Chain A
Amino acid sequence: MSLTALAFYLFASITVFSGFMVIASKNPVHSVLFLILAFFNASGLFLLLGAEFLAMLLIIIYVGAVAVLFLFVVMMLDINYTEMREGFLQYLPIGALIGLIVLVELIMVVGVWQVAPEIIGTPAVAAAPDLTNTEALGAVLYTQYIYAFQAAGIVLLIAMIGAIVLTLRTREGVKRQNISQQNRRTPQTAIEIKKVKVGEGL
């Protein structure tokens, strides 16, 4: 077995395992940490595919930023585990039924999946071997998909406006630092000089 195959099975099996543990862990913080492990191994799989740019972005964006905030929130939540479990049995039958239906559907769909014969055996390679994949991605993202790219930017803008609209409150009675005001202070405005008589104090 070559080194690449070994790496593939390592990354793939850890991804699947940690994916399973995300839902199986009793402690939500562990779930998030397993999720991060899954992201990390998924980026390893990207590397094996030769998509090193995506691999790095997956870590920088998902692991480095999104999951940190996620972990942040989960750690601060005060979750009552017993209460969470109470409704479980009550909803189990209907949940299992829906799960079963979806499973059957998935099997039906995957069952009829025919991989085009000419694809088998052709490895996934970059379309232009002389381009690095950063360049290759940039070339389509800013030309062919500029519309979707810009629109996605507006989606993020809305998310930002939304977060501010729904959560920003100007609280009364909070002292705020005003740096220009601080810088404008001079000895004349800030201190008062008094003659103190010897032995008497103020």
Chain B
Amino acid sequence: MSDVLTVLPELILAVGAMGLLMIGVFSGDKSYGLLKWLASGLFAVAFLVMIGSGAEQKLAFGGMFVTDAFALFMKSVVLTGAVFALGLSGQFMRERGIARFEYPVLVVLAVLGMMMMVSANDMLALYIGLELQSLALYVLAAFNRDKLRSTEAGLKYFVLGALSSGMMLYGISLIYGFTGSTSFAEIAAYGIGSGTNGLGLLFGLVFLISGFAFKVSAVPFHMWAPDVYEGAPTPITVFFGTAPKVAAMALFVRALIVSFPDLTQQWQQVVVFLSVASMILGAFAGLMQTNIKRLMAYSSIAHMGFALAGLATGTVDGVQGVLVYMAIYMLMTAGTFAVILGMRRKDGLTEDISDLAGLAKTRPALAAIMATLMFSLAGIPLLAGFFAKLYVFMAVVEAGMYWLAVVGFVTSTVAAVYYLRIVKLMYFDEPNENIEPLKDRGIAYVGFVTAALNSPLHLLLIWPLTLAAGLAAQSLF
């Protein structure tokens, strides 16, 4: 019974998703709006139940599942991201005729998978949670099945995702083979392995990390991100950019910190490589983009690099940095995509950056929101994005990895170019009267809320956030 209570939030989502499915099946696609609200309601209920059951560490199902402060923090971020994504998917989905009832159901199931990932305390639970999430995401990417780009995105994501799952499974089987267990705790107890067995364990670890790197789209496993971001319907891209990244990062952190504490030296090298490569590629490849969704994909790759820098330290402060970073990253991404969904010309939505020219004169509110978010993404002081980077790089410097911090500073300066270029375009270029007024209230709400949270107003909230992240990070060590 206590096992069931521990997984109550997940259980609510699972049973709720089936309930939503039933409503959808019997009342058809016209229930889309209702199901969206009900799905958000489910997230809220799951969130409240989660908060209500507290942050102390609880194990369930023979240690396969764990809830602790870390899980609580990451699940909250995931749920918030999912609510934003649902909030942004009104008008867009209807206009394209893909407002189908399966969408909210799949989002709920994907979030269920993410929550299972965050709480996984066993390689088996990890893998199943990951597949649950990925399978739902593959379908979502191809949701606009009559559009070539959407199906291409779905197929690409599926093929590459299956490849990465394969690598991860191979890694897991090696780890199981050499340690004799799939449980994180027992793998940790096995330590670095006696003599030559350590080598096999290390191989397994590297394959496992490759799988994680794919899911967070870190270089060199990033190639799916731009195509999938561009091809998938934009509200679904919002979802892709926020919740799954957070969940995958949570999994990444927990698996490495909890099950391989003795191998820190070894995995550090790999994570540092991933981090540096992602930061550099994200910053430089983003410079050439003209499509704003692709730009956001490269931006997300760069941000994952920054977050991984925090993990690379392997310290409590580093993990705290990762948590703060992921929370703020989620807000920035959701907000930016809200603005992207608001970029509407007479002939429909546009994804061209040049259409933003002179937005400040025609749509000042939208421009202000976008500018705030761009400054925040670039990491300009006093905005939330700055503090995110600050915490990570403080941890990196404390851990004595100075050159990693230097690479971070340089690449964030380079990346700032493309964020600031958009601000320049909006405020200093001649308006071309392209963008129509907003009609969807969801976009306005999400844009406003995220911009407000990223503006200097966040200084009121950053203290509780870091405090919570600190507690969450502490719970892993």
Contacts and interface: CB of A to CB of B under 8 A. Distances in A.
Contacts of A151: 116, 125, 128-129, 132
A79 B116 CA distance: 41
Contacts of B203: 105, 108-109
Given A154-B112, A162-B139, A165-B102, A147 B21 contact: no
A159 B131 CA distance: 10
Nearest to B11: A150
Contacts of A147: 7, 60-61, 64-65, 125
A164 to B, nearest CB: 8
Given A109-B174, A113-B200, A165-B100, A148 B135 contact: no
Interface string B124-144: 110011011001101100110
A155 interface: yes
Contacts of A5: none
Contacts of B461: none
Interface in B219-276: none
A108 B199 contact: yes
Interface in A72-95: none
A158 B109 CA distance: 8
Interface in A96-119: 105, 108-109, 112-114
B128 A158 contact: no
B97 interface: no
Interface residues of B, number: 37
Interface in B137-190: 138-139, 142-143, 145, 154, 174, 177
A152 B128 contact: yes
Given A151-B128, A151-B132, A155-B132, A112 B200 contact: yes
Interface string A133-169: 0000000000011111011101101110110111100
B387 to A, nearest CB: 36
B142 A161 contact: no
Contacts of B443: none
Contact of B128 (A114, A155, A165): A155
Contacts of B105: 161
Nearest to B127: A148
Nearest to A144: B62
B196 A165 contact: no
Given A148-B64, A151-B129, A161-B21, A112 B116 contact: no
Given A148-B125, A151-B128, A165 B139 contact: yes
B360 to A, nearest CB: 41
Contacts of A112: 196-197, 199-200
A114 B194 CA distance: 11
Contacts of B106: 158, 161-162, 165
B380 interface: no
Given A112-B196, A113-B200, A147-B64, A166 B135 contact: no
Contact of B139 (A105, A144, A148, A166): A166
A143 to B, nearest CB: 9
B203 to A, nearest CB: 5
A170 to B, nearest CB: 11
Given A147-B7, A147-B64, A165-B102, A158 B132 contact: yes
B109 A154 contact: yes
B236 to A, nearest CB: 12
Q: Which 6 interchain pairs have the tightest Cβ spacing?
A: A162-B139, A112-B196, A147-B61, A151-B128, A165-B102, A158-B135
Interface of B: 7, 14, 18, 21, 60-62, 64-65, 100, 102, 105-106, 109, 112, 116, 124-125, 128-129, 131-132, 135-136, 138-139, 142-143, 145, 154, 174, 177, 196-197, 199-200, 203
23 contacts: A109-B199, A112-B199, A114-B196, A114-B197, A145-B124, A147-B65, A148-B64, A148-B124, A150-B14, A151-B116, A151-B129, A151-B132, A154-B14, A154-B109, A158-B135, A159-B135, A161-B102, A161-B105, A161-B106, A162-B135, A162-B139, A166-B142, A166-B145
Given A151-B125, A158-B135, A161-B109, 16 more contacts: A108-B203, A109-B200, A112-B200, A113-B177, A114-B196, A114-B197, A147-B64, A148-B64, A151-B132, A152-B128, A157-B109, A158-B106, A158-B132, A162-B135, A165-B106, A165-B139
